């Protein structure tokens, strides 16, 4: 019989864990496969770990990995994928925004061997703040123009993958992880299922605007170096403008003499051009910073405790 591993990143999810666990065990009964639930406790400060320990004691399908601190969802997903032993592996949020009911359909699709992955995306951004929606849309349109790796708008991390695909993802060991890109980068045939946005079952979202903004920069720098090319192009354009202006100033001086004037325009030009310079330097710095982190080669996560550490 096939085994399905379900990876659930959890950060301060004490409010939903019980609802989630009940739901997933219920759904598992309808699917003809063995199950393994890997809960990754991403350094939660609430009772998440205690609840997980309890579940793992009474249900041997439940496994958990507890991090030494909060490493972020990307690290949690990577840890889960690494630990998963199933023939098929799913990633699912703990808050039931990724409906477990879809799992059966996803699994049946993969069984046909026609696809290696069934992924989900949301149909609309209903229920999301307007400003966030706007920036999300902008992010997807910018990143997709810059990279040949397709980053699907509205894609969720919820997906069921074949063992082959999971192994390929594990080979991508970069520190700055942008999974939405990595899933697409490794290739394989993916079927997309769209559903309406579902509100969190309980608890609060762990993302704020600033975190999302940083995550979007992460995505762009991880999957394209186009911003570097752009800054070079901006540099060239400014050189051309400067050359034309030099010619203009020379001829103007030769024809009309050299009365001292043009202070305001000089200041404007200096401010504008130095702004552009700093902007381009910032882009370079961003890549340098990412490279710095990669070169350090730090572990993506650190485990404090797993289900193997507690006596059953
Ligand atoms: N999460 C995590 N580490 C973090 C932030 C979030 O493991 O640092 C988990 C969280 O517990 C949840 C999933 O990632 O299972 C999605 O988080 P959330 O629901 O807060 O994000 P949203 O659905 O609002 O985008
Ligand atoms: Mg959520």
Count of alpha carbons within 13 angstroms of residue 267, beta-carbon side:
3
E-state strands within the chain: 3-10, 34-41, 62-67, 88-91, 117-122, 155-162, 190-195, 303-306
Cα 200 to averaged position of ligand 2 atoms, centre (Å) = 6
> How many angstroms separate the CA atoms of 164 and 110, rounded?
12
Residues 200, 106 share a domain: yes
Residues 27, 153 share a domain: yes
Residues 15, 162 share a domain: yes
* 220 located within any domain: no
Choose among 277, 266, 267: nearest CA to 235: 277
* 259 located within any domain: yes
Residues 63, 107 share a domain: yes
Residues 21, 161 share a domain: yes
* 218 located within any domain: no
How do the pLDDT tens digits run along the chain, 312 residues long?
899 999 999 999 998 999 999 999 999 999 999 999 999 999 999 999 999 999 999 999 999 999 999 999 999 999 999 999 999 999 999 998 899 999 999 999 999 999 999 999 988 877 778 888 888 889 999 999 998 888 988 889 999 999 999 999 999 999 989 999 999 999 999 999 998 877 787 778 888 888 888 888 889 999 998 999 898 898 889 888 888 988 888 888 888 887 777 887 888 888 888 888 888 898 999 899 999 989 999 999 999 998 888 865
Residues 201, 263 share a domain: no
CA angle, 128 then 10 then 52, to 5°: 145
What CATH number did the domain enclosing 20 receive? 3.90.550.10
* 215 located within any domain: no
Residues 244, 130 share a domain: no
Residues 165, 88 share a domain: yes
* 216 located within any domain: no
User: What pLDDT score does 170 carry?
Assistant: 95
pLDDT in tens, 168-193: 999 999 998 999 999 999 999 999 99
Residues 140, 29 share a domain: yes
Residue 186 near residue 309 (C-beta atoms within 8 A): no
Residue 117 φ then ψ, to 5°? -155, 140
Domain boundaries, position 205? 3-209+299-311
3-state helix, strand, coil in the chain (%, to 5): 50, 15, 30
CB count, 10 Å around CB of 170? 13
Ligand 1, from 79, 81, 95, 96: best to mutate by most atoms within 8 Å of Cβ?
Answer: 95
Residues 202, 60 share a domain: yes
* 105 located within any domain: yes
Residues 147, 102 share a domain: yes
Cα 71 to averaged position of ligand 2 atoms, centre (Å) = 17
Q: What is the CA radius of gyration of the chain?
A: 25
> How many angstroms separate the CA atoms of 11 and 47, rounded?
10
Which atom of ligand 1 is nearest to 70's Cα? 8
> How many angstroms separate the CA atoms of 312 and 310, rounded?
6
What total of structural domains would you count in the chain? 2
pTM to 2 decimals? 0.84
Cα 166 to averaged position of ligand 1 atoms, centre (Å) = 21
38's tokens:
């890997």
Residues 303, 282 share a domain: no
* 217 located within any domain: no
* 16 located within any domain: yes
């Amino acid at each position: 019989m096939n085994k399905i591993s379900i990876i659930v990143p959890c950060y301060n999810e004490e409010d939903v864990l019980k609802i989630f666990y009940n739901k997933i065990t219920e759904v598992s009964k309808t699917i003809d496969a063995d199950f393994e639930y890997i809960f990754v406790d991403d350094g939660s400060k609430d009772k998440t770990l205690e609840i997980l320990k309890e579940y793992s004691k009474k249900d041997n399908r439940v496994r958990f990995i507890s991090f030494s601190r909060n490493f972020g969802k990307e690290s949690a997903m990577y840890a889960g994928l690494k630990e998963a032993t199933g023939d098929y592996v799913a990633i699912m949020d703990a808050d039931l925004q990724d409906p477990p009911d879809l799992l059966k359909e996803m699994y049946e699709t993969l069984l046909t061997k026609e696809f290696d992955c069934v992924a989900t995306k949301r149909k609309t951004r209903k229920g999301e703040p307007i400003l966030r929606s706007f920036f999300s849309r902008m992010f997807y349109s910018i990143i997709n123009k810059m990279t040949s790796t397709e980053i699907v708008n509205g894609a969720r991390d919820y997906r069921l993958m074949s063992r082959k695909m999971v192994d390929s993802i594990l080979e991508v060991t970069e520190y700055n992880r942008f999974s939405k890109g990595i899933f697409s980068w490794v290739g394989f045939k993916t079927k997309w299922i769209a559903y309406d946005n579902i509100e969190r079952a309980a608890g609060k979202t762990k993302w704020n605007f600033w975190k999302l903004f940083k995550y979007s920069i992460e995505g762009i720098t991880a999957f394209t170096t186009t911003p570097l090319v752009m800054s070079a192009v901006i540099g060239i354009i400014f050189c051309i403008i400067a050359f034309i202006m030099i010619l203009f100033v020379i001829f103007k001086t030769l024809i009309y003499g050299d009365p001292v004037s043009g202070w305001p325009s000089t200041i404007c030009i200096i401010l504008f051009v130095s702004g552009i310079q700093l902007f381009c330097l910032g882009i370079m710095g961003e890549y340098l910073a990412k490279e710095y982190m990669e070169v350090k080669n730090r572990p993506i996560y650190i485990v404090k405790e797993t289900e193997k550490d507690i006596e059953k």
